[in-house]
Amino acid sequence: MARPSRPHRWIWSAVSGVVAAAVFLAVAEVLVPLTSPGGGPIVAVGGFVIDVVPRPLKEFAISTFGENDKPALLIGLGLAVLVAAALAGILQYVRRPLGVVLLAFAGILSLLASVTRAGAGALSWIPSAAGTLVGSLVLILLIARLRAWVAASAEPVPQIPENPAAPKPTAAVSRRVFFRTTAVIGTTAVLAGLGARLISAATSSVSAIRDELNLPAPRTTVTVPDGAELGVDGLSPLITPNPDFYRVDTALVVPTIDPASWRLVIDGMVDQRVELSLDDLLAMGLDEYAITLTCVSNEVGGDLVGNAIWLGIPVRDLLAQAGPQQGADMVLSRSVDGYTASTPLESLTDDDLDAILAVGMNGEPLPAEHGFPVRMVVPGLYGYVSATKWLTQLTVTTFADDEAYWTPRGYSAKAPIKMSSRIDTPRIGTPVSAGTVPIAGMAWAQTVGIEQVEVSIDDGEWQPATLSAPLNDDTWVQWKLEWDATPGTHYVTARAVDADGNRQIEERAPIYPNGSTGWQRLLITVT
Ligand SMILES: Nc1nc2c(c(=O)[nH]1)N[C@H]1C(S)=C(S)[C@@H](COP(=O)(O)O)O[C@H]1N2
Ligand SMILES: [Mo]
């Protein structure tokens, strides 16, 4: 029996650290459903990271990973935990009790993230605290066993036991003890952690409740006019199906809200604080509204824009119940996860603007990722200043006194959507055959409407495109132009004009701080 060589000791101490971290997470996972239903240490730390990462990094994450930005964050976080855990094991081996100190430090960070999270309860500290305690004990135990094994390996292998009654543990025995302890604890942690996860997923009944929720029929519906779809291959549909609708938010896990206990509070500078249940809201009567939602992070030509038929109630009717007071100029809408948006009060009280609280999206209750049970949608304002999902509070206030989630992060407090147009087909990198090729796309100027879209080939004369029949001024329209494509490479550029006669801005602007501008220009190969 050889003494474990140095690399082996590094490896087994690192493994001990990883097992201790697994125990930490498993203990936390088991306790989360009992103590902090909003989510445990992983969600809290992930949420904390999302809130503190510098803006450019967040933009990089959205542009690199898109809709997968959250899985990417979780994988990154997982790798960081793995490295720190291995390090804690090695530290504990070479210099007791440094490994436990590192683990406790991580535990305190996760505890702080857990208790400061929006929606944290009085018991939210328990999973982190218990995980730290049990994880530390496991780390101490495993490293002690590893040391015993290493020490036993240093002894010469006894040929004839001098005192058979009390044999010293041999290297083989200590090795077995270490492996067995590590394997039993590691397996138990993985099974307990996964089991707790599965049970809580199976018993979280909100998706079942959502499936069964029967929303009242709308009093008025949206009529799609003839000619609203141009029927060009590769062109986005007029109404974006829910599964294809872009998703942007800071929520690492989608908040789950039981509609039976959901309340909307309207407070702040109001004559009377109002509190409504979902039934109160539904009893006000529902109507359908077609509104195109756009994200401030949408680059020229990007896909962070979608159009839905929302089922909802005008915000102005709700605000009227509370009575906004003189001097107020902003409504801070708040989500259950702490996210906030600042919307000009006048946009929400304007009789001619369909700012709504939506409960339905394209014929079904709001999908969980899109804000179930209630979200806000305001035509003409970027999502980050208007479209709060998982809504729970509307506070009437002023821009001078309050700011929303993105404001201290540098984005404008007020942000109307900028008119834009997009080429959906042909696509860059997908050559087309010479002959008649439809060029087609979408254009939007919410609240004003699109008057015209023009296309230029190889920077030549601007040609008017055919527009689809608009649903209303708050939604995008489709456009197309038949192009007599000749072999070679060609630049295709599109620009829009709104119903007020304003032309889409040519100058390129980045999404920061209040939305991109510029004309989309594609190089297309014709064969
Ligand atoms: N609670 C919450 N609501 C939110 C956000 C968020 O991060 N949290 N993001 C906003 C942004 S930036 C946009 S563009 C829209 C996107 O809505 P969608 O995900 O339904 O497309 O939601 C808005 N509402
Ligand atoms: Mo957004």
- HEC secondary structure over 140-176: HHHHHHHHHHHHHHHCCCCCCCCCCCCCCCCHHHHHH
| pLDDT 10s digits, 246-271 | 999 999 888 989 899 999 999 999 99
Entry pTM: 0.89
Write 344-352 long-range contacts (CB < 8 A, 24+): 344/414, 345/319, 345/396, 347/378, 347/380, 347/381, 347/386, 348/315, 348/316, 348/319, 348/378, 349/316, 349/319, 349/324, 350/316, 351/316
Give phi and psi for 437, each to the nearest 5. -120, 125
Q: What is the CA radius of gyration of the chain?
A: 30
The pLDDT of residue 312:
98
- CA dist 352 and 247 (Å) reads 28
DSSP collapsed to 3 states, 53-64: CCHHHHHHHHHH
The pLDDT of residue 284:
97
Q: Is 249 in the pocket of ligand 1 (CB under 6 A)?
A: yes
| pLDDT 10s digits, 82-102 | 999 999 999 999 999 999 999
Residue 162 has pLDDT above 70, yes or no: no
Residue 37 has pLDDT above 80, yes or no: no
Q: Is 506 helix (H, G, I), strand (E, B) or coil?
A: coil
- CA dist 192 and 189 (Å) reads 5
As a whole number, mean pLDDT of residues 9-24 equals: 96
Q: How many CB atoms lie within 10 A of CB 150?
A: 20
Reported confidence tier of residue 1, pLDDT bands at 50, 70, 90: very low
Q: Residue 340 C-alpha to ligand 1 middle, in angstroms?
A: 10
Q: Is 334 in the pocket of ligand 1 (CB under 6 A)?
A: no
Probe residue for ligand 1, chosen from 70, 244, 248, 252 as the CB with the greatest number of ligand atoms within 8 Å: 248
Please answer whether residues 270 and 397 qualify as being in contact, where contact means their C-beta atoms are separated by less than 8 angstroms: no
Residue 140 has pLDDT above 60, yes or no: yes
Q: Residue 200 C-alpha to ligand 2 middle, in angstroms?
A: 30
Supply the residue whose CA is at minimum distance from atom 10 of ligand 1: 384
Q: Is 14 helix (H, G, I), strand (E, B) or coil?
A: helix
Reported confidence tier of residue 210, pLDDT bands at 50, 70, 90: confident
Probe residue for ligand 1, chosen from 376, 389, 405, 444 as the CB with the greatest number of ligand atoms within 8 Å: 389
Q: Is 324 helix (H, G, I), strand (E, B) or coil?
A: strand
Q: Is 291 in the pocket of ligand 1 (CB under 6 A)?
A: no
Q: Is 376 in the pocket of ligand 1 (CB under 6 A)?
A: no
| pLDDT 10s digits, 42-87 | 888 988 988 888 888 888 887 788 778 888 888 999 999 999 999 9
Ligand 1 atom nearest to CA at 294: 14
Enter the tokens of residue 143: 């490293």
| pLDDT 10s digits, 321-354 | 999 999 999 999 999 999 999 999 999 999 999 9
Ligand 1 atom nearest to CA at 370: 20
- CA dist 137 and 128 (Å) reads 14
As a whole number, mean pLDDT of residues 149-168 equals: 68
Query: By C-alpha distance, which of 101, 181, 185 is closest to 149?
Result: 181
Q: Is 367 helix (H, G, I), strand (E, B) or coil?
A: coil
Q: Which of 66-80, 119-133, 237-251, 408-422 has the lowest mean pLDDT?
A: 66-80
Residues 6+ apart with CB under 8 A from 399: 329, 330, 342, 413, 414
Ligand located closest to 341 CA: 1
Q: Residue 294 C-alpha to ligand 2 middle, in angstroms?
A: 7
In Å, how far are 90, 117, 130, 301 from 124, measured between CA atoms?
Answer: 30, 9, 11, 43
The pLDDT of residue 253:
85
Residue at token pair 């803006």: 55
| pLDDT 10s digits, 269-317 | 999 999 999 999 999 999 999 999 999 999 999 999 999 999 999 999 9
Residue at token pair 């008025």: 220
Q: Residue 464 C-alpha to ligand 2 middle, in angstroms?
A: 31
Residue at token pair 């996964």: 194
In Å, how far are 26, 32, 112 from 120, measured between CA atoms?
Answer: 20, 11, 11
Q: Is 389 in the pocket of ligand 1 (CB under 6 A)?
A: yes
Supply the residue whose CA is at minimum distance from atom 5 of ligand 1: 249
Query: By C-alpha distance, which of 380, 381, 398 is closest to 500?
Result: 380
The pLDDT of residue 198:
86
Reported confidence tier of residue 40, pLDDT bands at 50, 70, 90: confident
Please answer whether residues 95 and 143 qualify as being in contact, where contact means their C-beta atoms are separated by less than 8 angstroms: no
Q: Residue 425 C-alpha to ligand 1 middle, in angstroms?
A: 28
Supply the residue whose CA is at minimum distance from atom 13 of ligand 1: 383
Residue 4 has pLDDT above 60, yes or no: no
Q: Residue 55 C-alpha to ligand 2 middle, in angstroms?
A: 13
Residue 505 has pLDDT above 70, yes or no: yes
| pLDDT 10s digits, 460-492 | 999 999 999 999 999 999 999 999 999 999 999
Ligand located closest to 337 CA: 1
Alpha helices for 272-313 (secondary structure H): 278-283
Ligand 1 atom nearest to CA at 306: 21
Q: How many CB atoms lie within 10 A of CB 84?
A: 17
Q: Residue 141 C-alpha to ligand 1 middle, in angstroms?
A: 46
Residue at token pair 């218990």: 130
Ligand located closest to 512 CA: 2
Q: Is 444 in the pocket of ligand 1 (CB under 6 A)?
A: no
Ligand 1 atom nearest to CA at 245: 21
Query: By C-alpha distance, which of 343, 338, 428, 434 is closest to 380?
Result: 343
Q: Is 293 in the pocket of ligand 1 (CB under 6 A)?
A: yes
Probe residue for ligand 1, chosen from 249, 254, 511 as the CB with the greatest number of ligand atoms within 8 Å: 249
Please answer whether residues 329 and 268 qualify as being in contact, where contact means their C-beta atoms are separated by less than 8 angstroms: no
Q: Which of 45-59, 197-211, 436-450 has the lowest mean pLDDT?
A: 197-211
Q: Is 411 in the pocket of ligand 1 (CB under 6 A)?
A: no
The pLDDT of residue 2:
55
Query: By C-alpha distance, which of 316, 342, 315 is closest to 329?
Result: 342
Helix H or strand E encompassing 206: helix 206-212
Q: Is 295 in the pocket of ligand 1 (CB under 6 A)?
A: yes
Query: Could you give the angle at the alpha carbon of 240 between the alpha carbons of 50 and 248, nearest 5°?
Result: 5
Please answer whether residues 357 and 315 qualify as being in contact, where contact means their C-beta atoms are separated by less than 8 angstroms: yes
In Å, how far are 60, 260, 296, 382, 384 from 509, measured between CA atoms?
Answer: 17, 45, 12, 16, 18
Ligand 1 atom nearest to CA at 335: 1
What share of the chain has pLDDT > 70, as a percent? Answer: 96
What's the mean pLDDT when you consider all of the chain?
A: 93
Q: Residue 81 C-alpha to ligand 2 middle, in angstroms?
A: 30
Q: Which of 28-32, 168-172, 364-368 has the lowest mean pLDDT?
A: 168-172
Please answer whether residues 417 and 378 qualify as being in contact, where contact means their C-beta atoms are separated by less than 8 angstroms: no
List, in order of start, the domains of the chain with CATH numbers. 6-155+165-204 (no CATH), 242-409 (3.90.420.10), 420-526 (2.60.40.650)
The pLDDT of residue 200:
78
Supply the residue whose CA is at minimum distance from atom 12 of ligand 1: 384
The pLDDT of residue 166:
58
As a whole number, mean pLDDT of residues 411-438 equals: 97
Q: Is 254 in the pocket of ligand 1 (CB under 6 A)?
A: no
Q: Is 246 in the pocket of ligand 1 (CB under 6 A)?
A: yes
